[in-house]
Every structure is written in structure tokens, then in C-alpha cells.
Amino acid sequence: MQKVVHISGQGGENSQGQLPEHFEQQLHQAFRNLQLALQAADAQLQDIAVLRVLITDYNPQKHQLLIQRMQQLWTDQGFPACTLIPVPCLALAGMQIEIEATAYCQIQPGKD
């Protein structure tokens, strides 16, 4: 039996709510936060079917950093379907990236 996991609002803030100044640091933290959210739902990166990535002040360099990070995370399979959405701003001042994901995974025996 499969379950669908919807995750939104994964930004670059650390566990203390601090946002690094640099995009690349926020990018790495956003994917780390995504992995933690997936883990809490008994899912993993490979279960993601769709990603939506929102980026402020979009430029080709940020796009390349995103691609490089995804290549590091998805080494044994193709990327999930991914939509990159340039936006003027996000929920928090200084927030440069936000990730949403939809994952499909097997329900673990004995869990709902």
C-alpha cells in the first residue's frame, strides 16, 4: 500500500531559525530540511515524484547551483519532475529558496 506525502515550506533556515546570507548555504540547508521532513514521514529523497523550487532574485548561477546539488543528491536515479519558479520574495526576510515536494512511498508494516 502506498501513501502520498506532501511537504512544503522547506527553506534555508537552520534549527535555530537563522538564515545564512549566501544562497548556496540556504540551498544546502533547504534540502537538509526537506530530508528531515521526509524522514519524519518515513520517506526518502528517492520517493519524491515532484519538486517545486521557488527562488528569489533568480539568475543562471543559482540555477546551476541547484542542478549541482540535485546531482549530488540523486546519484543513482534521474531527478524527480522539477519546476523552478522565480519569485520576488518569500515568507521570511532574507529567504532566498523554498522547496515543496510530493512523494509516494510504501506504508511500513505496523505504521499508518
pLDDT truncated to tens, each residue of the chain (112 aa)? 889 999 999 999 999 999 999 999 999 999 999 999 999 999 999 999 999 999 999 999 999 999 999 999 999 888 899 999 999 999 999 999 999 999 999 887 766 5
∠ CA 67-73-77, nearest 5°, is 95
The continuous run of DSSP H or E covering 50 comes out as strand 48-56
Q: What is the CATH number of domain 2-106?
A: 3.30.1330.40
Q: What is the pTM of this model?
A: 0.92
C-alpha span between 102 and 79 (Å, rounded) = 13
| Type of residue numbered 52 | R
